[in-house]
Amino acid sequence: MKNTMLQISIPQPCHEDWQAMTPATKGRFCDKCMKNVVDFTTKTDREILEAYTKDAKLCGRFKADQLNRDIEVLEKKSTVWLATTSAIMTLVGVESSAVLAQEKPKTEQNDGYVKGKMIAPVKPQTKVIKGVVSDNVGPIPGANVVIKGTKTSTQTDMDGKFSIEAKENDVIVVSFLGLTTIEQKVDENNFYKIELKPSENQLMGELIICKKRTFLGRIFHSIGNWFR
């Protein structure tokens, strides 16, 4: 069970006047479309999304503040929420004023209400990001790799390699004792080479050199950089 963010918007307003429609159950009846238009202006996000899962061709009327904002969805298997996050919502809304002709998709507002085609984009897909972390000496074992703003983290292996799940536009934060912290934004690439530089705040001390790079050896070497 996890949270998913959706955003509902209306890029293409419709052309019917809410006040001209015939009052009906849960809203009004549109003589032109020959269907009921549900009034969602007092409904919650859950009620709107659940209504869509029952009828993907619903027509509806919405307030401006119900749209173009993040909606947090709690995913549960075998529930309408899980079905909703994998669908593109196509509800049609109307507002209380006359409609202006549109040459290109855009959102219209009048008296706090919005009309048009409502779309909830599918959530961003998580992918596996791989990479290698090194400095001017070589690969760094035990470096910390964290997805910024989350608790998702890992460490590099003995060869300085790491693997972590992330989404595009997430920020990977890589750090290690005695070296500067690097932030890498995730784009379409799935592999990153990240080089850490010695920290400017260095002290003096003993340098330990090992034949083969080990986890403890890596730490002692970096401490030596601090004290140099």
- How far is 86 from 75, CA to CA, in rounded Å? 11
| The pLDDT value given to residue 217 | 59
- Superfamily of domain covering 126-199: Carboxypeptidase-like, regulatory domain (2.60.40.1120)
Spatial contact of 61 and 40, defined as CB atoms under 8 Å apart = yes
Q: What is the 3-state secondary structure (H, E, C) of 39-78?
A: ECCCCCHHHHHHHHHHCCCCEEEEEHHHCCCEEEEECCCC
pLDDT at residue 86 tops 60: no
Q: How far is CA 33 from the centre of its chain?
A: 35
Tell me the Cα Rg of the chain.
Answer: 27
- How far is 43 from 109, CA to CA, in rounded Å? 19
- How far is 95 from 109, CA to CA, in rounded Å? 8
Lowest mean pLDDT among 44-58, 59-73, 108-122: 108-122
- Dihedral class, residue 129 (left if φ above 0, else alpha if ψ from -120 to 50, else beta): beta
pLDDT at residue 27 tops 60: yes
- Dihedral class, residue 144 (left if φ above 0, else alpha if ψ from -120 to 50, else beta): beta
Q: What is the DSSP letter of 18?
A: G
Domain range list for the chain: 3-119, 126-199
| The pLDDT value given to residue 89 | 45
Cα–Cα distances in Å, from 65 out to 41, 69, 156, 217? 9, 8, 45, 57
End-to-end CA distance of the chain: 49
Which residue would you say has higher pLDDT here, 35 or 182?
182
**Amino acid, single-letter form, for residue 30:** C
Q: Please give the mean pLDDT across all residues of the chain.
A: 72
| The pLDDT value given to residue 108 | 44
Among 31, 13, 33, 15, residue whose Cα is nearest residue 23: 31
| The pLDDT value given to residue 131 | 96
- How far is 177 from 99, CA to CA, in rounded Å? 62
Spatial contact of 30 and 134, defined as CB atoms under 8 Å apart = no
